[in-house]
Amino acid sequence: MSSRMYKPTDHVIKKSYLPSIQKYKEMYERSLTESELFWTEVAQEFQWHVAPKPGGFMKYNFDITKGRVFVKFMEEAELNVCYNLLDRNVKNGFGDKIAFFWEGNSPDDYTRITYRKLLDLVCQFANGLLAKGIRKGDRVAVYMPMILEAVICMLACARIGAVHTVVFAGFSSDALAERLSDAKAKLLVTADGAWRGERMYVYKRTCDDAIEKARTFFKHRVDMCMVVNHLDRVTPGGSLKSEIKDLYNWNEETDIWWHEVLEGESNICPPEWVAAEDPLFVLYTSGSTGKPKGVVHTTAGYLMYAAATFRYVFDYHRRDVYWCTADVGWITGHTYVVYAPLANAATSVMFEGTPYFPKVDRYWSIINKYKVTQFYTAPTAIRALMAHYNVEDGNLTMPDLSSLRVLGSVGEPINPAAWLWYYTRIGKERCSIVDTFWQTETGGHVITGLPGATPMKPGAAGFPFFGVEPKILNEDGIEIEGPGEGYLVFARPWPGMMRTLLEDQDRFERVYFSKFPGYYCTGDGVRRDEDGYLWITGRIDDMLNVSGHLMSTAEVEGVLASDPRVSEAAVVPKPHEVKGEALYCFVVLKEGLQFDADLVKTLTLLVRQKIGAFAAPDTIQNAPGLPKTRSGKIMRRILRKIAVGDHEVGDISTLADPGVVEELFNNRPAEA
Ligand code: WT7
């Protein structure tokens, strides 16, 4: 199973903070044995209103048998994240430095913003929020495309101590309504719409629907909706503008334009000093029971951890230009588009569009245009793009990419073929690839290589980041030392980890701490090889990973079963060449009902409506019944085999009705 190692090249090493694996190991040891010293050094870079007190930065309990689970870091300290991202950098002489190169959907539409200008706009918007009655602790929902106002809004919340909850703008109005209500959001900030590729999305309409649904289904009232007039920048003047206006409603009492919120507001806004453990944001992630989990991240620990991982994992240096392609609606966008780069006074690219527009070389042409040094994307994007370049197409030339030094991967295990293509065709065999394993819950990278230090193995995430102590446990909770495979858990907290689930501490403890008392359980499987490298083997719970989007089987099953014709549904992942995994759904219809193409269409649409387009099933199969144990548990292991047409199903003698398996094989749709 061991594979070839690729050593970091001089191109990477000569700039690197940690130019050898020995250096990494020494520092890693120190991060565990002298943890406080380690984080003190990180903390010294930042401005504190009340400095952290030495002597027990980290207080925690991971053992549910000993009481409630909690994590507290630098508890008595006070600070403001926005101040540290903007004011501090301006004071340190980076006022004229570019914070973001913003690249619009159209290659002709681009702009840039300096740290000073960003600070001005954030202060202005923060004053606007205050003027509208938003205060410390209030929840502000954000449903936005990849535009600078999304960043400005998040930072303005941080400045006044309001808690943002960004909902990915690919989610449907149902999903948004559920999150608005669960978070008790007072305000929703959005844009009229945006173009992605050749399609226009009207976000304001989705927001109108979501606000209405939150009110009728969940009895939650959103007081206000602030709207960025973004479509006008790409559709200036005249007729289209008024046509667009017809696409959504305008409620004079509750809706207000972003530019009107800014009007007359000063660009000076004193930061609200908050406690280290005050919440910074809530971000929803899928839970295996179907109801989304509101992951709560707090202030000091998140900032320290985001800053440190960014510096070391991307080896960021002052003149570098960094680009993370993730959407701000996901944790990758929070930590590695917004918070971590700004904490390091970095210059980043922020991109509104898609990799395929106007041509499939868009990513590479952006790297070339801004001379990007660090590029961070997902395996699904790499696989989709490499497919275009693997066919001999004379029109597809790769622009000069020699500015690159570090390539990042995130979201799912990267398969060796995609890794090699990334390494050779994009990195020209001289860049380091960092395969960063982490989760919404971990706040930042927890298992990863470091560019100058870690010899690379295609497909291995590598080693723990500083302060992180991974263990491999077997089903009985016994630790596996040395090479072996089992559950990936963490034996102690690190500053950036989640603190609780929003208003659901019980679920927090149940989901992450009940299986193995004393450990944080990731839900992923892992293998350690003979060189100590960690290889993530994928989820062990009932979760699916479609194009790096995590969702639960229960979530999709719930939607399918909400159709009155469906009596039962089961969803399993099926390997997919580009998406990593695709949804394969089995539906059992009620007595006497007919399964047909129309039903498949309706069910597909239903999933898109209730969750979002990214969750649309690839296959929906008619199932006369489901393989269940005598106690009624669906055996998903068997369904997975059926999905791929593999007849080696193993022992089916424990099934209540073994005959159903053959029937399901016979019922596989032709296209599956
Ligand atoms: C799950 C977390 C945090 C990044 C975006 C996803 C999978 C993530 C890797 C990787 C193998 C990975 C895991 C994890 N995952 N990165 N480098 N190698 N698997 O955040 O939606 O919270 O999903 O994504 O299964 O548990 P998320």
What is the residue extent of each domain of the chain?
81-272, 547-667
Q: Which atom in ligand 1 lies closest to the alpha carbon of residue 447?
A: 17
CA distances from 90 to 86, 117, 196 (A): 6, 10, 33
Considering only CA atoms, which residue is closest to atom 27 of ligand 1?
439
Which residue is associated with the tokens 């007595």?
Answer: 591
Give me ligand 1 centre to Cα 216, in Å: 35
Considering only CA atoms, which residue is closest to atom 3 of ligand 1?
439
Of 407, 412, 497, which is best to mutate to test ligand 1, by the most ligand atoms within 8 angstroms of its C-beta?
A: 412
CA distances from 89 to 76, 86, 114, 347 (A): 24, 5, 11, 12
Give me ligand 1 centre to Cα 439, in Å: 5
Q: Which atom in ligand 1 lies closest to the alpha carbon of residue 409?
A: 17
Would you say 102 and 147 are in contact if contact means Cβ atoms under 8 Å apart? yes
Give me ligand 1 centre to Cα 377, in Å: 12
Give me ligand 1 centre to Cα 550, in Å: 8
Of 295, 410, 422, which is best to mutate to test ligand 1, by the most ligand atoms within 8 angstroms of its C-beta?
A: 410
Those residues of the chain that have pLDDT short of 70 are: 1-3, 234-243, 391-395
Q: Where are the alpha helices (DSSP H) in 219-275?
A: 231-234, 238-245, 258-262
Considering only CA atoms, which residue is closest to atom 12 of ligand 1?
412
DSSP 329: T
Q: Exposure of 509 by Cβ count < 10 A (0-12 exposed, 13-18 middle, 19+ buried)?
A: middle
Give me ligand 1 centre to Cα 226, in Å: 32
Q: Which atom in ligand 1 lies closest to the alpha carbon of residue 414?
A: 18
Number of H helices, E strands in the chain: 23, 32
pLDDT, residue 239, reads: 46
Give me ligand 1 centre to Cα 299, in Å: 22
Give me ligand 1 centre to Cα 461, in Å: 11
Give me ligand 1 centre to Cα 411, in Å: 4
Considering only CA atoms, which residue is closest to atom 2 of ligand 1?
439
**Cross-strand partners of 73:** 58
Distance from C-alpha of 269 to C-alpha of 663, rounded to nearest angstrom: 67
Q: Which atom in ligand 1 lies closest to the alpha carbon of residue 522?
A: 26
Domains 81-272 and 547-667 equal at CATH topology level: no
Q: Which atom in ligand 1 lies closest to the alpha carbon of residue 550?
A: 21
pLDDT, residue 448, reads: 98
Considering only CA atoms, which residue is closest to atom 5 of ligand 1?
411
Is residue 327 classed as helix, strand or coil in its secondary structure? coil
Give me ligand 1 centre to Cα 549, in Å: 8
- Residue 592 tokens read as 């006497």
CATH number of 547-667: 3.30.300.30
Of 295, 287, 578, which Cα lies nearest the Cα of 411? 578
Of 581, 508, 496, 582, which Cα lies nearest the Cα of 538? 581
Q: How many CA atoms lie within 13 A of 347 on its CB side?
A: 18
CA distances from 242 to 228, 235, 246, 248 (A): 16, 10, 7, 11
Whether this model's ipTM surpasses 0.90 comes out as yes
> What is the architecture of the domain spanning 81-272?
3-Layer(aba) Sandwich (3.40)
Considering only CA atoms, which residue is closest to atom 18 of ligand 1?
413
DSSP 440: G
Considering only CA atoms, which residue is closest to atom 8 of ligand 1?
411
Give me ligand 1 centre to Cα 46, in Å: 29
Give me ligand 1 centre to Cα 610, in Å: 23
Distance from C-alpha of 616 to C-alpha of 648, rounded to nearest angstrom: 28
Considering only CA atoms, which residue is closest to atom 14 of ligand 1?
439
Side chain identity at 133, as an amino acid letter? G
- Residue 57 tokens read as 């930065």
Give me ligand 1 centre to Cα 538, in Å: 9
Q: Which atom in ligand 1 lies closest to the alpha carbon of residue 441?
A: 22
Give me ligand 1 centre to Cα 503, in Å: 24
DSSP 217: H
Considering only CA atoms, which residue is closest to atom 23 of ligand 1?
439
Considering only CA atoms, which residue is closest to atom 13 of ligand 1?
412
Q: Which atom in ligand 1 lies closest to the alpha carbon of residue 536?
A: 11
Query: Where does ligand 1 bind, in terms of residues with CB under 6 Å?
Result: 285, 330-332, 410-413, 435-440, 461, 522-524, 536, 539, 545, 550
Give me ligand 1 centre to Cα 448, in Å: 12
Give me ligand 1 centre to Cα 478, in Å: 24
CA distances from 70 to 60, 62, 181, 224 (A): 5, 7, 25, 34
φ/ψ of residue 513, rounded to 5: -125, 0
Q: Which atom in ligand 1 lies closest to the alpha carbon of residue 440?
A: 22
Of 439, 522, 524, 543, which is best to mutate to test ligand 1, by the most ligand atoms within 8 angstroms of its C-beta?
A: 439
Give me ligand 1 centre to Cα 664, in Å: 32
Is residue 22 classed as helix, strand or coil in its secondary structure? helix
Distance from C-alpha of 15 to C-alpha of 580, rounded to nearest angstrom: 34
